[in-house]
Structure 1
């Protein structure tokens, strides 16, 4: 195995073990060499970016750690997805002794640095959205006295990832963990009333939501309607937000050019309607930083110093950062005739 770390931070990690979680999901336990172990320390809820080559194409995908920092291993869990080139390829080909090129952990879907044990943690997971939630729940139970409530939705019992592990947690922490499984096959899709009922009476709580887009939308809307402060709502999206057909800008004039400062160089690129700032940088031949491409991690953030843009989705930047001109370039569409963006 090569020990060379790429200029973009990817290191080759050996697959130490492959665990078949369900018929369509596997966990990959990765062996981190001692010399770069410091680069792969992480907080519960974070993810790894994996770079692979499939049929001659370089592809990057983000996978949350399903292990917790208290473990002595680094593990990601990957579920098959209709049309998911990389997830299906990993399920089909990943084998013990194989190698994956992996960037260091990232992500802001994490537990607050300081939280009162009186504050509950409420988590909503749908399908493979259990992966970061599992890490968060295990960490909160092991390292605090917080009460934890987990609502886990799946198509049916056979789709439940970590079924045995969750049952063991519920038994071990029966005084602090409430686990509710929801099966679409029995009850239909998750409704706003089911969400409101589950969160009722939890008092001051941090709510974490991860899963398919329709599930997340239902949960998010129900939590906000219940009065949950936005600062207490944490979202992790697995799917890339698509630019609606025909969307260009909001200002009534077409964007003509985008000026990009990156790594000490300045490039002026013609703008193609509907492209994000990240896509524009790529078309200009720049190796702009990116990872999740869902607006969740903050890897692609840059600052607009002239002109304006709007973000399709933002689960990474706080209000102060946005006011200072920071944007997530993977989610940003120009809204002025000229835009100048700086990667710092």
Structure 2
């Protein structure tokens, strides 16, 4: 089970007016514990307003380069933790950081010969940047085609770093920025960084089709990585499926957004039996509480990170009864069919529910 450790903040850098990157120092004795794959995330823990809160942020650093662990955090309207980080975190602070985790990552190997298509929007660039850098520096025979969407040129995170990569790997990296609401002088402002025009629009069905047609794969072994808000992911995935890309070659990490309000009613005071850390716990689920929050209220320590239905840290298996997930951005349909559920999003639909944390 992943553990939290106290890590010192080395650097806080303003990436845009509404986003910062935070780098952490990992002591030598914890190097092995904080090994990670490109695309994975860190979970940060804070005590704010007298309550413990956790949030997961993707690593934008690369595991093959000697550099500190680094995450990118974009300010969110009403976001308790993201705003705390952007407003208050500074070098020298100590933060509780869980060991890296996550099922969204690229299996990068020196002898790979692949074409990678990377689709990112907004702060979805963070895990994509980790994958991009790791592939370029490790797989000398692989090619990367990347399209990155933002509202305007001032909201592009890590642009300086991305442009440097394009200059360093001109034969193996194709990078296209697409802006949905560019500033009036956007082309003039960006002429110094590239001679190419920048596309106007979102990362949507039209953009995905255009991008793949404009930049066909070099290596026939192709993988597709997508990260951004829910609507962008659905549009990109659907477009890839419509051109017969196999699902096993499509990898997705959602940063939320685009979800409709859930109005499903839970069964009040359903009986809960949970097997956790070798203990069998029996209790009731109060109205409005999820399985995860019920167990936490009971003083138990179930695994969890984001509480947003994104990271899958709180995964459990339903062995009796039925539950409804208010939000699911982590599990595939085949996993749900096997009984797996995100306990942070699960409410009871039957009088009795049994779950196992494996």
**Secondary structure at the counterpart of residue 185 of structure 1:** coil
Q: Which runs of 5+ in 1 are unaligned?
A: 1-6
- Classify the secondary structure of the residue corresponding to 1:293: coil
Evaluate the alpha carbon distance shift between residue 32 and residue 330 of structure 1 in structure 2; reply closer, same or farther with a 3 A threshold.
same
Aligned equivalents of 2:258 and 2:176: distance in 1? 29
The match for 1:247 is 264
Aligned Cα root-mean-square deviation (Å): 2.7
When structure 1 is superposed on structure 2, of 284-293 and 173-182 the one drifting more is 284-293
Superposition deviation, residue 137 in structure 1: 0.6
What CA deviation, in whole Å up to 9, does each residue of 1:214-256 have, x standing for no partner? 322322222222322221111112238979443036xxx8783
Would the aligned equivalents of 2:110 and 2:138 in 1 still touch at CA under 8 Å? no
Does structure 2 conserve the Cα–Cα contact (< 8 Å) formed by 1:10 and 1:101? yes
Partner residue of 1:127 out of 113, 122, 132: 122
SS in 1 for 2:64: coil
Residue number in structure 2 paired with 1:4 = none
In the alignment, what sits opposite 1:264? 278
Query: Aligned pair count?
Result: 334
Partner of 2:86, secondary structure, is helix
Match of residue 57 from structure 2: 63
- Give yes or no for the alignment of 1:76 onto 2:76: no
Check whether the contact 1:156–1:183 (CA below 8 A) recurs between aligned residues: yes
2-structure distance, mates of 1:279, 1:32: 31
Query: Could you give the per-residue CA deviations for residues 86-129 of structure 1, whole angstroms, max 9, x where no partner exists?
Result: 11111111111111110000001101366984431111111111
Which sections of structure 2, spanning at least 5 residues, go unmatched? 183-199
- Normalised by the length of structure 1, the TM-score is 0.87
- Structure 1 residues 256 and 299: CA distance shift in structure 2, 3 A: same
Structure 1 partner of 2:356 = 342
- Normalising by structure 2, what TM-score? 0.84
Distance (whole Å) between structure 2 residues aligned to residue 288 and residue 243 of structure 1: 28
Q: Identify which of 92, 95, 119 aligns with 2:90.
A: 95
Corresponding residue number in structure 2 for 1:38: 32
Say if 1:242 and 1:208 are closer, same or farther in 2 by CA, change over 3 A: same
**Aligned mates of 1:240, 1:284 — CA distance in 2:** 31
Which residue of 2 is the match for residue 191 of structure 1? 204
Query: Is residue 270–residue 348 contact of structure 2 (8 Å, CA) maintained in 1?
Result: no
